[in-house]
Amino acid sequence: MTVHPLLMFPHPGLKTACAPVSSFDENLRLLARDLHETMRAAPGVGIAAAHIGIFSRVTVIELGPETGVLTYINPEITWSSKETLQHVEGSVSMPGATDTVTRPKSIRFRYQDLHGVSHEAEADGFLAICIQHEIDQLDGIFWLQRLSKLKRDRLIKKWEKTKA
């Protein structure tokens, strides 16, 4: 298992939509393990393959022992609730920068597992927020794009000062 270097904001790869996975082999399982190790080292609770410069629809989420490590291949949201939640979000590719994002409280989604088996699932609360955040990244939507222009510009300016 390898901890990979992360693409850091404003790297253009963070705005790249990821291609669907079609090969469910040992390389995919190694990628998932590497993503998990990289996410833990960052640290974070979720990571998409795009964060390490691999533009495949793979994401790993680990919220704690109750959920364990969740790996989603080719995930897509099929339904979102009208009810929303606000939650403070950030990214392993922009450490230390956070802001409040509003997202649907509940979702239904489909995905494949590491063996290519299709699944449908529901999520709500924090898990739903994390899945939506990572699917956005797989679609080339960096979380900052969910903020107003004013909030985004302020956050970027503040973040650039901290890394200078």
Q: What is the rounded distance in angstroms from the CA atom of residue 101 to the CA atom of residue 87?
A: 6
Which residue in 15, 124, 139 sits closest to 79, CA to CA?
124
Q: What is the rounded distance in angstroms from the CA atom of residue 30 to the CA atom of residue 2?
A: 9
Q: What is the rounded distance in angstroms from the CA atom of residue 15 to the CA atom of residue 136?
A: 10
Q: What DSSP line would sit under 108-126, residue for residue?
A: EEEEE-TT--EEEEEEEHH
Q: What is the rounded distance in angstroms from the CA atom of residue 32 to the CA atom of residue 74?
A: 13
CB contact at 8 A, 58 and 21: yes
Residues 83, 89, 134, 160: which is the catalytic one? 134
Q: What is the rounded distance in angstroms from the CA atom of residue 103 to the CA atom of residue 107?
A: 10
Phi, psi of 110 (to 5 degrees): -125, 155
120 labelled catalytic: no
Residues that are catalytic: 134
